Structure 1
Amino acid sequence: MLHKNSFDKYSKQDFKVLKNNLKIFNFDITYSKEEEALILSPFTVTTPELKRESSSILSWLDKKFPNIGKIYKEAVDNSIAGESVSCISNCRNIITGIFSEYKDDGNRSWVAGLQKVSSDTNIHNVRTPNNIHQGSANIENGEFKYPRFQVIYRLYTLVSDLGAHSTEAPKIDGKLCPEITTSHDALWCLRMTEDVLL
């Protein structure tokens, strides 16, 4: 009988290809020792300790980053209550908070933490992290795009614009034209924030 940890290790190549194809459709196959069966489940687990369920994410945050755990719980509660702007503002605080945990002493910017944990090519050679999202990091470092860093920074911009800065807007013919933040936006932003945590 296969042990859960050896299931993937000893699988034949064809089975691994099948698993990868199922992941495209957001499914995964795991082995349950208790049931002695293969289990088809949604592919949302990226680490053994962290699953897509909010209770699992909250438990992990409470252990590693309790202050961010409180903000995450508020985000979920605000989403449930229909408080879309508040939920999205919480998401912004989660993003800046989680990456602030990884920055060096004396550095104020959360993007320094994002730079530190990013796996983008050449990103660790950029001396000023804010230059990455401003597009000026390439002046001295070539034509690197830093795609992983940029997508998280874009998420930060989205949650800032639909959350904390949602009342800031251009004026046209004397009338403010703000974005209207919906409950769909809140759920979308919360799910993307959870993806960053996962």
Structure 2
Amino acid sequence: MAAEIQNSNPTILNEADLPTRQRPAPPRKPGVYDGGIFAPAFPSPPHLSDPLAVSTYFSAESDSDDDNLMEEPIDEQEIYDLVSTISDPEHPISLGSLAVVSLPDISIKPSLPNNPDSPLRTVTVLITPTITHCSLATVIGLGVRVRLEQSLPPRFRVDVRIKEGTHSTAEEVNKQLADKERVAAALENGTLMGVIGKMLETCQ
């Protein structure tokens, strides 16, 4: 962590205006069977009380619906939802609210252009530091990379880079973020991983 805050007055976007599919679920209204004299006659299904129990409450049709949901492709909005709630290492504010990550700067493309039917995909996230000389740009990039590598299936390759023209040492930072050996060595640093862990605590 820096000894003093480098950008003490960053521009902050209203979180309610950020693009997302993640909406808080409405509170559940109490049902007629939630308690009272009906409770013993209507026990909870076993799959709710025992996570290892095999449920017989779902039909084959619902299983098919679940399969269709599982096959829904991961898109740029989902990637944004994964990384926008990461906290900035200097401020208790999300990367989305600081516009360090934004939806237009996220792309998903085939990893093998000559074989577009391959399931391999490359997720590219361009980062815009709040100031052009931010010394924590590499830490932010590592945080985004760790979050995506922990959340996405193995068929996704992660490419995190500083957006062109937004940082004075973008080329050097990008080399660090693209070098697998340097990234692996950095992630073995306990102090650095403590900072990244703190950044990821706010992820939804």
Rg larger in structure: 2
When the two structures are superposed, what TM-score results if normalisation uses the length of structure 1? 0.25
Greater helix proportion: 1
When the two structures are superposed, what TM-score results if normalisation uses the length of structure 2? 0.25
